[in-house]
């Protein structure tokens, strides 16, 4: 539809586009999908609301662009099997603290069907693929990935969304040492023990 990605097309409006996207991520992360209004986002980006529509078509389109996200999971096949859990928690915590996109997605997925769909896609595709890279029974891969997602998202939900005091006050390193064994068991263990 739009012009193919010509490397030589540094449009003057790219700065505006980026400003909108940044403001959108902030607002979506802070307020969720419905409370984050286009007018507020435009005000943050210091442009007119109509520009948002021109560049992103609709609010849904803006969110789709703002919620583009790559977990950037490390290659789990290269990680010592005993450290899989620790590696994963630490990775997610740093990924979260540095990029509010996932918090935006987390908040929006509670009320917006499209956001929930995107969330399912990210964890079904990226996380399941990563879990599949080391050799457990393929029949259990999806379930293991789901369990990992439940603890990871629960961690994010309580720490960044609801802000439960004990989860906010605990240092990332302490969280790692508590949660790592959980993920380790979900990834390589068996139910019951």
Partner DNA sequence: GACCGTTGCCAACACTTGTTGGCAAACACT
Partner DNA sequence: AGTGTTTGCCAACAAGTGTTGGCAACGGTC
158 lies in the site for a copy of itself, by CB under 8 A: yes
Nearer to a copy of itself, 45 or 149 (CB): 149
Q: How far is the CB of 137 from a copy of itself (least distance, A)?
A: 14
Question: With the C-alpha atoms ordered 27, 29, 31, 34, is the resulting torsion angle positive or negative?
Answer: positive
20 lies in the site for a copy of itself, by CB under 8 A: no
Q: How far apart are CA 175 and CA 34, in angstroms?
A: 31
Selection from 66, 62, 32, 27 nearest residue 44 by Cα: 27
Compute the C-alpha angle 79/132/151, nearest 5°.
80
30 lies in the site for DNA, by CB under 7 A: no
Nearer to DNA, 26 or 86 (CB): 26
Q: How far is the CB of 151 from DNA (least distance, A)?
A: 33
Q: Which two tokens stand for residue 61?
A: 């389109």
Q: How far apart are CA 113 and CA 94, in angstroms?
A: 27
Distances (CA, A) of 50 to 3, 37, 57, 171: 22, 12, 10, 43
Total residues binding a copy of itself (CB under 8 A):
49
Q: Which two tokens stand for residue 145?
A: 């990935």
Helix (H) or strand (E) holding 54: helix 49-56
Among 45, 109, 130, 187, binds a copy of itself (CB under 8 A): 109
Among 16, 151, 170, 188, binds DNA (CB under 7 A): 16
Nearer to a copy of itself, 16 or 188 (CB): 188
Which of these segments, 12-20, 49-57, 93-101, 166-174, binds a copy of itself (CB under 8 A)? 166-174
Among 24, 76, 147, 187, binds a copy of itself (CB under 8 A): 147
From DNA, a copy of itself, none, which one binds at residue 50 (CB under 5 to 8 Å depending on kind)? Answer: DNA
């Amino acid at each position: 539809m739009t012009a193919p990605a010509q490397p030589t097309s540094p449009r003057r409006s790219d700065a505006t586009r980026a400003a909108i996207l940044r403001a959108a991520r902030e607002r979506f992360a802070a307020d969720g999908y419905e409370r984050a209004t286009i007018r507020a986002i435009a005000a943050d980006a210091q442009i007119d609301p109509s520009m948002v529509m021109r560049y992103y078509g609709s609010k849904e389109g803006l969110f789709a662009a703002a919620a583009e996200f790559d977990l950037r999971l490390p290659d789990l096949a290269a990680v010592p099997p005993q450290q899989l859990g620790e590696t994963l928690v630490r990775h997610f915590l740093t990924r979260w603290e540095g990029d509010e996109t996932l918090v935006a997605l987390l908040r929006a997925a509670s009320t917006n069907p499209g956001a929930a769909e995107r969330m399912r896609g990210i964890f079904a595709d990226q996380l399941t693929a990563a879990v599949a890279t080391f050799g457990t029974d393929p029949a259990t891969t999806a379930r293991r990935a789901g369990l990992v997602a439940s603890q990871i998202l629960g961690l994010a939900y309580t720490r960044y969304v609801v802000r439960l005091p004990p989860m906010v006050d605990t240092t990332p390193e302490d969280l790692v040492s508590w949660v790592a064994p959980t993920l380790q068991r979900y990834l390589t263990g068996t139910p019951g023990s």
